[in-house]
Amino acid sequence: SSGINAEYGGVGAYRDDAGKPYVLPCVRSAEELLVSQNLNHEYLPTHGCPNLRQAAKVLAFGADSVAVMENLVASTQTISGTGALRIGGEFIKKFHSSEAIYLPTP
């Protein structure tokens, strides 16, 4: 066994063979980087970090996308994957004619 159980990857958590949470080395490095910056814990704007939202739009649609270049793509940042799914579901419910949302089994 590798010692890491990725079965719980869908919810963003990993466990070792003993069932204890396992934090990926890249996450530890990111934590150390953030702590070293001595941030002030200021809240982000309501829709999230503008630079992150812009980078996500470019990643999703491409830098040469007309929609991105003409600022036709709306975006928001959430605090979690499930929060993002909730916002996406509410958007579909409000703006799409279908009542059904199909979800895969992880």
- For 16, the 3-state DSSP assignment is strand
What φ, ψ does residue 5 adopt, rounded to 5°? -105, 105
> What span, in angstroms and rounded, lies between the C-alpha atoms of 65 and 68?
5
What would you report as the CA-atom Rg of the chain, rounded to the nearest whole angstrom? 18
- Residues 19-34 have pLDDT tens digits of 888 999 999 999 999 9
The per-residue pLDDT for 12 is 62
The per-residue pLDDT for 8 is 43
Q: How confident is the model at residue 49 (pLDDT cuts 50, 70, 90)?
A: very high
